[in-house]
Amino acid sequence: MSEKTAPTETVPVIPHFVHGERREGASGRHSDVYHPATGSVAGRVPLASAEEIDAALASAEEGFAAWSALNPQRRGRILLRWVDLINENMDELATVLAQEHGKTFPDAKGDIQRGIEVVEFAAGAPHLLKGEFTADAGTGIDVHSIRQPLGVAVGITPFNFPAMIPLWKAGIALAAGNAFVLKPSERDPSVPVRLAELALEAGMPAGALNVVHGDKAAVDALIEDPRVKAVGFVGSTPIAQSIYAHAGRMGKRAQCFGGAKNHAVIMPDADLEMTADALVGAAFGSAGERCMAISVAVPVGAETADRLIALLRERVKDLRVGPSLEASSDFGPVVSKDAKERIEGYIAAGVEAGAELVEDGRGVVVEGHEDGFYVGATLFDRVTPEMSIYREEIFGPVLSVVRAKDYEEALTLVNEHEFGNGVAIFTRDGDAARDFSTRVDTGMVGVNVPIPVPIAYYTFGGWKASGFGDLNQHGTDGLKFYTKTKTVTTRWPSGVREGASFVMPAGS
Ligand code: NAD
């Protein structure tokens, strides 16, 4: 983790938010926060020590006591007030988000909006938390189940959706009556802190939602503390896998979502103009830094491939990469200098391996922003499955076209890939779409929809190396993850009803 700026330098500190107040951090360790559009250091984020984690968890236990004592409907009202406040502060939040992440302003609003939708869903918790009831399971015996909060849950979230993913996790966990400790990405930490401040303003008790920044030391301290009952993670696959294993060893429930390599299969009967538009948005929007970005297009048949490449080429060459807050930018910079170098390294590796570079996004210079972390839209044709640009997640604005001779070859390609987050098929044929949706080994499927992120009341989760754990995020799975079930079996002995006398007692 970078600690480049000397501690004496005067850049603003993005604080922790614990027990209803900003805390500057006492560990003496910090990480730099950049504005990717300019390449400049815009702030410093403290990295929490074990003692600071301990304090955040002590606060969360207090927060849990106060928050879980409210009935679910009251909690729901506070969540809705939180939604109102986020909407009232939308422009400020989206501006900061765009500056720290690099995505464009409208895209930053979308990041926040898709998070809000899950909080709106979560406000329906009174209905969603209802248990089951069976009368007369045996003679005079009733059985019912109730869902109770776990206590303190933690979320460790990635840089690429600094509002949406924290809101997905915190929204559901809080609605179920838990306290939530968020450990957001250290690369764009300001919006998570503002969201927690707004939760307090909405009426959440201090400690119900704490935000601590940190690296592996903070995450390990959270996972190992007995007060933490559940661990939710979203990020790259190696970290997802190791956190899932670590949480399992500690006896915690965990859901850990990892990386992706999402394919789009393009059938010969697809509307290719519409498909090309959809692919360009899905591959290059947010500079390809979306876990549901399309990074591989698989046209079926040589003629489909030739036509698709021609349509993609004319669109890709006109795309404008530029500063996040400039309206003319189709997409912004990538998140860091390291990310830019990694992506450009993959492009070089693709060329070296023999893929055909149709559009090259390396070496882009944005006037007035020469130090920004820009990579232009890059298109490869004739990529093959053994190439690193096909096997590995690039997480940048790079679209690889892999040509398949027929439908079965395209489907096999998707199913044999290590990752299984999202996938799309473009076709006019219902039978092909139905067969594909049934047989594809992937968690989320789009039919003529390039980025099939499920709506809040369905669940989000990938398969294979894209997800570890058995419950998805948000939707009813989310409520299950953040609650434990208690089952009560009841028999009452003969009571007052049988022994009661309805005659006016009279003295002898
Ligand atoms: P990352 O794995 O580097 O970091 C994610 C989180 O883990 C951050 O909070 C980070 O501070 C923390 N972390 C990093 N190293 C750690 C370590 N050794 N021990 C403990 N915690 C550690 O991921 P990122 O670069 O922030 O995000 C991009 C990745 O996230 C991509 O792979 C993308 O596909 C994935 N992602 C997946 C989904 C999904 O739902 N499957 C959604 C969004 C992003």
Which H, E and C letters describe 410-469, residue by residue? HHHHHHHCCEECEEEEECCCHHHHHHHHHHCCCCEEEECCCCCCCCCCCCECCEECCEEC
> In 10 A of CB 349, how many CB atoms?
15
Res 10: pLDDT: 79
Pick the closest to residue 245 from 259, 231, 235, 265 (CA basis).
231
Helical H segments across 89-236, by residue range: 90-101, 105-122, 125-128, 164-175, 190-202, 216-224
Residue nearest atom 22 in ligand 1 by C-alpha distance = 216
Single-letter residue type at 10: T
Residue nearest atom 28 in ligand 1 by C-alpha distance = 235
- CA of 477 relative to ligand 1 center, distance in Å: 21
- The two structure tokens encoding residue 154: 């933690």
Element (H, E) at 276: helix 272-284
CA angle 392, 395, 398 (to 5 degrees): 90
Give the burial class of 161: count Cβ atoms within 10 A of its Cβ; 0-12 exposed, 13-18 middle, 19 or more buried.
Answer: buried
- CA of 249 relative to ligand 1 center, distance in Å: 20
Res 507: pLDDT: 55
Ligand 1 near 448 CB (within 6 A): no
Ligand 1: atom nearest CA of 240 is 2
Walk me through the domains of the chain, giving residue ranges and CATH numbers.
Answer: 16-258+466-489 (3.40.605.10), 262-447 (3.40.309.10)
Res 9: pLDDT: 57
Pick the closest to residue 293 from 116, 423, 149, 436 (CA basis).
423
Ligand 1 near 462 CB (within 6 A): yes
Residues 76 and 123 sit within 8 Å (Cβ to Cβ): yes
Question: What is the torsional sign of CA 337, 338, 339, 340?
Answer: positive
Ligand 1 near 234 CB (within 6 A): yes
- DSSP 8-state assignment for residue 8: T
Helical H segments across 210-260, by residue range: 216-224, 237-249
Give the burial class of 490: count Cβ atoms within 10 A of its Cβ; 0-12 exposed, 13-18 middle, 19 or more buried.
Answer: exposed
- The two structure tokens encoding residue 464: 């294979």
- CA of 158 relative to ligand 1 center, distance in Å: 4
Residues 36 and 322 sit within 8 Å (Cβ to Cβ): no
Which residues does the annotation mark as catalytic?
291
- CA of 309 relative to ligand 1 center, distance in Å: 32
- CA of 243 relative to ligand 1 center, distance in Å: 11
Res 508: pLDDT: 52
Distance of CA 482 to the CA centre of its chain: 16
Res 500: pLDDT: 66
Ligand 1: atom nearest CA of 393 is 32
Res 88: pLDDT: 98
Token match 């592996």: residue? 216
Distance CA 171, CA 175 (A): 6
Distance CA 97, CA 94 (A): 5
Q: Best mutation site among 220, 234, 244, 468 for ligand 1, i.e. most ligand atoms within 8 A of its Cβ?
A: 234
Ligand 1 near 157 CB (within 6 A): yes
Ligand 1 near 156 CB (within 6 A): yes
Ligand 1: atom nearest CA of 460 is 40
CA angle 438, 450, 332 (to 5 degrees): 150
- pTM equals 0.96
Strand partners, 119: none
Distance of CA 19 to the CA centre of its chain: 25
Residues 66 and 208 sit within 8 Å (Cβ to Cβ): yes
Res 202: pLDDT: 98
Sequence-ordered list of residues with C-beta below 8 angstroms from that of 487, at least 6 positions apart, any chain? 143, 144, 145
Residues 414 and 265 sit within 8 Å (Cβ to Cβ): yes
Sequence-ordered list of residues with C-beta below 8 angstroms from that of 253, at least 6 positions apart, any chain? 150, 229, 230, 231, 247, 469, 481
- CA of 256 relative to ligand 1 center, distance in Å: 10
Q: Best mutation site among 239, 418, 474 for ligand 1, i.e. most ligand atoms within 8 A of its Cβ?
A: 239
Query: Using one digit for the tens of pLDDT, what is the confidence trace for 40-74?
Result: 999 999 999 999 999 999 999 999 999 999 999 99
Check if the interface score ipTM surpasses 0.90: yes
Ligand 1: atom nearest CA of 238 is 2
Residues of the chain with pLDDT under 70: 1-9, 499-501, 505, 507-508
Ligand 1: atom nearest CA of 185 is 9
